[in-house]
């Protein structure tokens, strides 16, 4: 540890990792972090080669990395199966009958799925996908509530080399339509409905609307029965998940795919009206999510790990599914809202199941503060040993509250900065090592060559603001924007010469700690979710009554930022009849 950090620790400007945590953490000294960090930059082949050995490969790689800006290839020539790494490889170990998923639905229904059970369900559903014509490389759109079957569907795609594109269940029919048009998915996997704040979200109906009229690539819609809703079944197109299972076997051997085989496309907002399909591939992504889950969450077999994100976001992909399951962890998942039926639902769950690691967004923390600490104090949270945050900057007050009220001053907090594009954590404390400062994502993870630069790419001085860039490729980086290589190069690799531009502004303090200031492009961060101003504007001007629209962000106490729209109407009276329906669709988007 540097002398300066030691002095700061004495002065109370840092929060040192609690001793008991540090003693048994995988990495437990600053020297070890610095040594590994140095190796990861100076000898990436050695470092990443060793980390990748933590996964099962069908064929070894020939080269760790090939890089020709902006195209990276990791573990070149290697072959593996992402699903096999998350499921099958635990079957020959003591984890076979260990819980993989511990699930609670919003109405209070409960299910546990062991690794052996998950394996069976994934194999069965992979065969259902095959029976419905899905082949390696085909795109499958998943639009599900947060139930175990959403994860089963993702892993089943990975098993047969199909590319999943999960669309968050809170998104509208228009979002589904846009993503179908862009990805050309042939199959949609959905549910009749899902529960959210005591209401049923009519997922299948939204899919029906998305498929109404016009050309579509979709051949099949597979529907899981979750909410017992009466739904429309389109003959020759729609099939029930449970009926399909009757026709398939539970045997589905996993095949090895090239390390650069596409794993998924996840759409995120950019600075234009059209969402970008961020493409991730297999080997590098899995190494990145596996390695960060191991070191940043310090995952153990005894843990009950809970990341509250929905699988519709990158956090759900990397830290509900691929990272923790590849580590053989037990993951808690909860379908519904944190304040249903009352604002202590999360703490009830932590107490009842004995959650040990809890990972959520600052917006949620600020909501808990607003709802009052008495909701927390009703529950015994002593099982918690590690807390995390993600998605947006956390204000120091919220950090302190999280530390004191939820963590009882015993849990380290990992404030993890990363993006849909980065696939895995980039700036983050290591919980047994890094002294934390409330509001800072602290230091770079292994292999991350982060810097803050001006418009010309020159590094700025201490505490000077600038653009946050990454100066070399890393295993879990995006491989492109689906179908738009020019936009990929232009957006990420052309703004600062030779560097990946994150879109974020940041500064680095006298200890080398990073402080994220916020987006530098036309992207808002509302409740930890990215929203392009141009996207909202284009939804607004699509309305027949709207002449012009301009959208800006304003600070919001709970959500970080809120959307403010300035709209000029063409003529209110004439179009009034349209308002109800269209505005509702627009806001859902």
Q: Which chain residues interact with ligand PRX by CB under 6 A?
A: 268, 314-315, 390-393, 415-420, 441, 502-504, 516, 519, 525, 530
Query: Distance between CA 437 and CA 420 in Å, rounded?
Result: 25
Side-chain half-sphere exposure of 342, counting CA atoms within 13 A: 9
Cβ distance to ligand PRX smaller for residue 187 or 361 = 361
Nearer to ligand PRX, 186 or 525 (CB): 525
- Nearest approach in angstroms of CB 521 to ligand PRX is 9
Residue whose CB is nearest to ligand PRX in the complex, by number: 420
Measured from the CB atom, the residue of 79 and 290 that comes closer to ligand PRX is 290
**Closest distance of CB 413 from ligand PRX, Å:** 11
Strands of 276-281's sheet in order across: 238-240, 220-224, 187-191, 139-143, 163-166, 262-268, 276-281, 480-481
Q: How far is the CB of 530 from ligand PRX (least distance, A)?
A: 4
Rounded to a whole number of angstroms, the minimum distance from the CB of residue 395 to ligand PRX is 11
Reduce the secondary structure of 498-526 to three states and give it as a string. CCEEEEEEEEECCCCCEEEEEECCCEEEE
Nearer to ligand PRX, 138 or 392 (CB): 392
Yes or no: say if 449 and 38 are a contact pair by the CB < 8 Å rule: no
Report the Cα 284 to chain-centroid distance in Å: 16
Q: Least distance in Å: CB of 420 to ligand PRX?
A: 3
**In the complex, what is the shortest distance from the CB of residue 166 to ligand PRX, in angstroms, rounded to a whole number?**
13
* Residue 192 half-sphere exposure toward CB, CA atoms < 13 A: 13
User: What's the closest the beta carbon of residue 44 comes to ligand PRX, in angstroms?
Assistant: 23
Sequential DSSP letters for 136-169: TT-EEEEE--SSHHHHHHHHHHHHHT-EEEE--T
Residue number with CB closer to ligand PRX (259 or 389): 389
Provide the pairing of β-strand 450-453 with 257-258: unpaired
Query: Measured between alpha carbons, how far is 32 from 144 in angstroms, rounded to an integer?
Result: 42
Q: State the distance between the two ends of the chain, measured CA to CA, in whole angstroms.
A: 47
Element (DSSP H or E) covering residue 273: none
Task: Let me know if 289 is exposed, middle or buried by CB neighbors in 10 A (0-12, 13-18, 19+).
Answer: buried
Q: Which is nearer to ligand PRX, 129 or 390 (CB)?
A: 390
Compare residues 265 and 441 and give the one whose CB is closer to ligand PRX.
441
């Amino acid at each position: 540890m540097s002398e300066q950090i030691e002095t700061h620790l004495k002065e109370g400007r840092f929060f040192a990792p609690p001793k008991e945590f540090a003693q048994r953490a995988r990495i437990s000294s600053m020297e070890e972090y610095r040594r590994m960090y140095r190796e990861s930059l100076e000898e990436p082949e050695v470092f990443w080669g060793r980390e990748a050995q933590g996964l099962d490969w069908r064929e070894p790689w020939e080269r760790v990395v090939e890089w020709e800006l902006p195209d990276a290839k990791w573990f070149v020539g290697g072959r593996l199966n992402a699903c096999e790494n998350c499921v099958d490889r635990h079957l020959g170990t003591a984890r076979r009958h260990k819980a993989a998923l511990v699930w609670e639905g919003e109405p209070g229904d409960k299910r546990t799925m062991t690794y052996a059970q998950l394996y069976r369900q994934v194999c069965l559903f992979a065969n259902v996908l095959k029976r419905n014509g899905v082949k390696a490389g085909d795109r499958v759109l998943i639009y599900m509530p947060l139930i175990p079957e959403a994860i089963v569907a993702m892993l089943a795609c990975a098993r047969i080399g199909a590319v999943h594109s999960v669309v968050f269940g809170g998104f509208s029919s228009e979002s589904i339509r846009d993503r179908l048009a862009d990805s050309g998915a042939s199959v949609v996997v959905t549910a009749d409905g899902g529960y959210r704040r005591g209401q049923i979200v009519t997922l299948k109906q939204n899919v029906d609307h998305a498929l109404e009229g016009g050309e579509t690539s979709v051949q099949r819609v597979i529907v899981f029965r979750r909410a017992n809703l009466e739904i429309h079944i389109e003959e020759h197109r729609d099939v029930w998940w449970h009926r399909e299972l009757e026709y398939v076997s539970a045997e589905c051997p996993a095949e090895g795919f090239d390390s650069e085989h596409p794993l998924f496309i996840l759409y995120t907002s950019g600075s234009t009206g059209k969402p970008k399909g961020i493409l991730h591939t297999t080997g590098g992504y899995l190494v990145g999510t596996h390695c960060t889950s191991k070191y940043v969450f310090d995952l153990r077999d005894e843990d009950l790990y809970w990341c509250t994100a929905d699988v519709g976001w990158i956090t759900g992909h990397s830290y509900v599914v691929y990272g923790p399951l590849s580590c053989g962890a037990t993951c808690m998942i909860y379908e519904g809202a944190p304040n249903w039926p009352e604002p202590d639902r999360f703490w009830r769950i932590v107490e009842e199941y004995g959650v040990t690691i809890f990972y959520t967004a600052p917006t949620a923390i600020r909501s808990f503060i607003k709802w009052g600490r008495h909701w927390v104090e009703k529950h015994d949270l002593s099982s918690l040993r590690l807390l995390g945050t993600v998605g947006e900057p956390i204000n120091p007050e919220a950090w302190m509250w999280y530390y004191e009220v939820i963590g009882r001053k015993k849990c380290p907090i990992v404030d993890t900065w990363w993006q849909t594009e980065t696939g895995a954590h980039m700036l983050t404390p290591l919980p047994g090592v890094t002294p934390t400062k409330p509001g800072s994502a602290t230091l770079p993870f292994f292999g991350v060559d982060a810097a803050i630069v001006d418009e010309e790419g020159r590094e700025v001085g201490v505490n000077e603001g600038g653009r946050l860039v990454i100066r070399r490729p890393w295993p879990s980086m995006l491989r492109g924007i689906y179908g738009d290589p020019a936009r990929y190069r232009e957006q990420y690799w052309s703004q600062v010469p030779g560097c990946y531009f994150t879109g974020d502004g940041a500064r680095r303090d006298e200890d080398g700690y990073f402080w994220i200031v916020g987006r530098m492009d036309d992207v808002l961060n509302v409740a930890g979710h990215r929203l392009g101003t141009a996207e909202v504007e284009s939804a607004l001007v699509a309305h027949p009554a709207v002449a012009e629209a301009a959208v800006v962000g304003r600070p919001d106490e709970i959500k970080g930022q809120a959307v403010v729209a300035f709209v000029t109407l063409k003529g209110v009276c004439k179009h009034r009849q349209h308002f109800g329906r269209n505005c509702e669709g627009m806001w859902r988007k």
